[in-house]
Amino acid sequence: MSAFVTPSSRASLVVALGLLVLAAGLRFSGLDTQSFWTDEGISLVFARGSASETVEMVSRDYHPPLYFLLLNGWTKLFGTGEVAVRSLSALFSLAAVLFTWAVGRRLFGAAPGWLAGLLAACSVYQLFYAQEARPYAMLACLSAASMTAYVAWLRKPGAKSVALYLLASVPLLYTQYMGFFVILCQNLHFSLGLMRGCFRERLRGWMLAELLLGASFLVWFPTFRRQFGVVEEGFWIDTPSWGDLGQISLVLLCYRWKWWSWVAFAAGAAVGMLAWWQRGRATPFEHGGPTESREEPPALFGASLVAIWFFVPIILAFVLSLKGIRVFHHRSLAMVSPAVFLVTVALCQRVPRPIGAAVFSLVLGASVATLPYYSTRVHKHNYRAAAAFVAESDTAQDEVLFEPAFFQAAFDHYHPREIPMRPPGTPPTASRVWCVIKTRWPQGQQMLRWLQGQRYRVTESKTFRLIEVHLLERP
């Protein structure tokens, strides 16, 4: 076991491959178990047509365009099935595990790096977004990649390291706007180093890198400012409570399971205990680090960086949401998830060894215990079953109405015939109407009452995951 925790290149390769196999097995198994849900249907709509059409549609939404442009090309190559479409996110999540391992190794040493990677590989939070056709797995990946490049630049400033930093950070900003929080964390950490007398010889190079990063976003800035108004004027994210702030760490670690998951918990805890006790005695990077890291800036490096990376985005998103810019949500905080695992390992290193082993084992055990709960529970809108239910008896003369209207995007993917878009409030003319509405959605119930006012009567109803389907007929 000791061969796996030395800082040698051979051991690092073995560890990386082991993490890849574990993470890939979790992320690519069951990609088609659940149907596309509402937001994934919207992703498919954005990915249709040409690249310019994708950019034009995304510009009317509240996201940057990069993920959807990649998805556009990806679906043209591999198709629009669940496995094909979600594989893009699975690959980004797989890379996020590697970058978590890489930044942890650079900050704290070889063994802490692969322990953080192990937590990332088994994270149900990351697994959830790895199996979803949305940009959040890519956000987590590029967040960790940008941090890895930032640490590499601090260790060895130069044109090559600046280029690698920009190669990771520019796509981060064009993937999800919460990526700006990652850049803010890097600047806070760099400023803290300046206050402590470190990094002064690196100030000019850092200012140049940040100037180039800002310039790269200027082309999209007018669109960003227009999209920002959507969040200011009204948004789907609720104003968070103080309880939400306290629960976000548990959400990021996904502590939720059923009673029979205790078996998985025990197995995961045992693996965690073994891994911790066999990890070796790698010296933290702040105090010298692995052999290849001994020329690095000495003070406040690893622990301070991961603490800033973890706490600042969460607190800032919470405060902004209280002020009306509602961005505090577990999906938009995906860029924090690599920091969760690094903070866990860093804290375990700084307590007596038995306590560190126990805490790490509990965290890994809880993550593993969540896996059976995740794999046996339908947690996405079940459009596949809803569309199949309608297709069993609908005809070309039937009309299908949706409330909210964007439900149609995912439903259309599974329905065998093309359903024309209907302007809101347009009375139907067919004698049979299918009504697809969100469960417990007031506007959906209003639609049903409106149709009943048009002399329609409900003759058949069925509920799927977060979806109600009603067949209404009139003489």
Note the pLDDT tens digit of each residue in 367-422: 888 887 787 777 889 999 999 999 998 888 999 999 988 899 999 999 998 888 77
Q: Are 309 and 147 in contact (CB under 8 A)?
A: yes
% pLDDT > 90, the chain: 54
CA distances to 133, 187, 301 from 297, in Å: 40, 16, 8
Residue 1: pLDDT band with limits 50, 70, 90? very low
Note the pLDDT tens digit of each residue in 217-275: 999 999 998 888 766 555 677 788 888 887 777 777 765 555 445 555 566 566 666 66
Most confident of 131-145, 226-240, 319-333: 131-145
Note the pLDDT tens digit of each residue in 29-75: 999 999 999 999 999 999 998 999 999 999 988 899 999 999 999 99
Model confidence at 446: pLDDT above 60: yes
Model confidence at 216: pLDDT above 90: yes
From 376, 391, 408, give the residue that closes a domain: 376
| DSSP state letters, 64-120 | -SHHHHHHHHHHHHH-SSHHHHHHHHHHHHHHHHHHHHHHHHHHH-HHHHHHHHHHH
Order of strands, edge to edge, in the sheet holding 399-403? Answer: 399-403, 432-438, 467-473, 457-464
Query: Are residues 330 and 186 part of one domain?
Result: yes
pTM: 0.89
Sign of CA dihedral 383, 385, 387, 390: negative
Query: Are residues 397 and 363 part of one domain?
Result: no
User: Which backbone phi and psi does 311 adopt, to 5 degrees?
Assistant: -80, -40
Model confidence at 300: pLDDT above 60: no
CB neighbours of residue 36 within 10 Å: 28
From 376, 404, 421, give the residue that closes a domain: 376
The number of distinct structural domains making up the chain is 2
Q: Are 95 and 141 in contact (CB under 8 A)?
A: yes
Q: Are 244 and 328 in contact (CB under 8 A)?
A: yes
Query: Are residues 91 and 14 part of one domain?
Result: yes
User: Which backbone phi and psi does 472 adopt, to 5 degrees?
Assistant: -120, 140
Q: Which of 57-71, 201-215, 342-356 has the lowest mean pLDDT?
A: 342-356
Query: Are residues 25 and 65 part of one domain?
Result: yes
Query: Are residues 39 and 76 part of one domain?
Result: yes
What pLDDT, on a 0 to 100 scale, did the predictor assign at position 269? 60
**Dihedral in degrees, nearest 10, Cα atoms 127, 137, 100, 374:** -10
Query: Are residues 9 and 47 part of one domain?
Result: yes
Query: Are residues 331 and 460 part of one domain?
Result: no
Structural domain of residue 242, as residue ranges? 2-376
**Beta strand pairing call for 399-403 and 432-438:** parallel
Query: Are residues 365 and 419 part of one domain?
Result: no
CATH number of the domain enclosing 469: 3.30.110
Q: Which of 299-303, 317-321, 327-331 has the lowest mean pLDDT?
A: 299-303
Which runs of consecutive H residues, i.e. helices, occur in 330-382? 337-349, 353-376
DSSP-assigned beta bridge partners for residue 462 = 469
Query: Are residues 194 and 338 part of one domain?
Result: yes
Query: Are residues 427 and 294 part of one domain?
Result: no
CB neighbours of residue 321 within 10 Å: 22
Which runs of consecutive H residues, i.e. helices, occur in 201-241? 203-216, 221-233
Sign of CA dihedral 320, 326, 328, 334: negative
From 376, 403, 434, give the residue that closes a domain: 376
Query: Are residues 390 and 365 part of one domain?
Result: no
Which residues, including other chains, have CB under 8 Å from residue 337's CB and lie 6 or more apart? 96, 120, 123, 125, 126, 140, 252
Query: Are residues 411 and 357 part of one domain?
Result: no
